[in-house]
Amino acid sequence: MQNFFIRHKLSLGDIANLSDSDSEHIIKEKLYDIEDVIKIQTYEREFLAQITDITKSSVEIQIVEDLGERENEYTPSITIIQSLSNDTKFNYFIEKSVEIGIEKIIPIQSKYSLKTKAKAIRDTGYWNKLVKDAVEQSRNIFPTIIEKPVRINELRNRDLEGIKICLSTESTSIKPKYLNELLRTVDLSLPIYIAIGPEKGWSSSDINIFKDMGFEFVKLKGNILRTETTGLVIGSIIKYLKGEI
């Protein structure tokens, strides 16, 4: 039975709509009919739901059985790997990430980061407070997860399965694609990791790490964005294409 994900909390008897992308897929492929039962996952629980209505653009469901807590750990839809910057910029980035619904942030110390891993670890308590305040303001159901800062070479130990994108204007042996060109060729239902460097950019050693990890290098058209806004812009574009914003 195929699983479908809904971002907000659900309980027995609730009526909800599937995401735009899931609804479009079901309608286009004629996968289900009214009264068919499907499996629904939220961040915390699994449910069985009955399809109650199918229109030209949406699929409505009603929760008919609570299957309990999810057995598998939730894999965030979008994770931003953000090079550490000064406090003001990084705090702004955190607040706005929560507002637009970025699920996870991995702060990294790259060669030209303005703060070290050791110093940034002391800020994690304050970062979580920023998340809490931003969640209350934006009414985001699921708070953004901020991992403890790591050095960029420690990313090699991570099993990052999905689409891996590194924004880069630096010279590499691989010519960066424009973001819009890359997004036309990938499966946006997969987890997406977006690596954003500091104002000074990535070093050659940073670039080599991302190459070894299988990241695709991309660039943006138009204006040059600051480090604290670049990930937010790319994340927002992807969330829009995924039907999540």
- CATH assignment at residue 109: 3.40.1280.10
Residue 141: pLDDT over 70: no
Supply the mean pLDDT for the chain: 89
pTM for the model:
0.72
Percent of the chain with pLDDT over 70: 94
Q: Are residues 98 and 64 in the same domain?
A: no
Q: What pLDDT does residue 80 have?
A: 96
**Distance, C-alpha 142 to centroid of its chain:** 12
Which residues pair with residue 94 across a beta bridge? none
Q: What pLDDT does residue 234 have?
A: 93
Residue 222: pLDDT over 90: no
Tally the domains of the chain.
2
pLDDT band of residue 128 (cuts 50, 70, 90) is confident
183, 238 Cβ separation under 8 angstroms: yes
Q: What pLDDT does residue 168 have?
A: 87
Q: Are residues 62 and 82 in the same domain?
A: no
Element (H, E) at 180: helix 179-183
**No. of H helices and E strands in the chain?**
7, 13
Q: Are residues 91 and 204 in the same domain?
A: yes
Residue 30's CATH number = 2.40.240.20
Q: Are residues 125 and 170 in the same domain?
A: yes
Q: What pLDDT does residue 9 have?
A: 79
Q: Are residues 205 and 98 in the same domain?
A: yes
Q: Are residues 58 and 94 in the same domain?
A: no
Q: Are residues 153 and 94 in the same domain?
A: yes
Nearest to 196 by CA among 172, 222, 219, 162: 219
Q: Using alpha carbons, list the distances in angstroms from residue 90 to 80, 81, 93, 213.
A: 12, 12, 5, 25
pLDDT band of residue 73 (cuts 50, 70, 90) is low
Q: Are residues 164 and 189 in the same domain?
A: yes
Strands 45-54 and 37-41 come out as antiparallel
pLDDT band of residue 118 (cuts 50, 70, 90) is very high
Q: Are residues 120 and 26 in the same domain?
A: no
Q: What pLDDT does residue 243 have?
A: 81
Q: What pLDDT does residue 211 have?
A: 93
CA angle 195, 201, 205 (to 5 degrees): 80
Q: What pLDDT does residue 224 have?
A: 78
pLDDT band of residue 216 (cuts 50, 70, 90) is very high
Residue 12: pLDDT over 90: yes
pLDDT band of residue 245 (cuts 50, 70, 90) is confident
The predicted model gives 142-167 an average pLDDT of: 90
CB atoms under 10 Å from CB of 78, counted, come to 26
Rounded to whole angstroms, the Cα distance separating 173 from 153 reads: 20
Domain's final residue, options 36, 69, 102: 69
Q: Are residues 14 and 116 in the same domain?
A: no
pLDDT in tens, 17-67: 998 878 998 999 899 999 999 999 887 789 999 999 999 999 999 999 999
Q: Are residues 28 and 136 in the same domain?
A: no
The predicted model gives 200-210 an average pLDDT of: 92
Please give the residue range of the domain that contains residue 26: 3-69
Domain's final residue, options 69, 88, 109: 69
Residue 72: pLDDT over 60: no
If 0-12 CB within 10 Å is exposed, 13-18 middle and 19+ buried, where does residue 5 land?
middle
Name residues whose C-beta falls within 8 Å of residue 28's C-beta, 6 or more positions apart in sequence.
Answer: none
Q: Are residues 95 and 172 in the same domain?
A: yes
Domain's final residue, options 46, 69, 92: 69
Q: What pLDDT does residue 89 have?
A: 92
CB atoms under 10 Å from CB of 106, counted, come to 20
Q: What pLDDT does residue 195 have?
A: 97
The sign of the torsion formed by the CA atoms of 88, 215, 187, 16 equals: negative
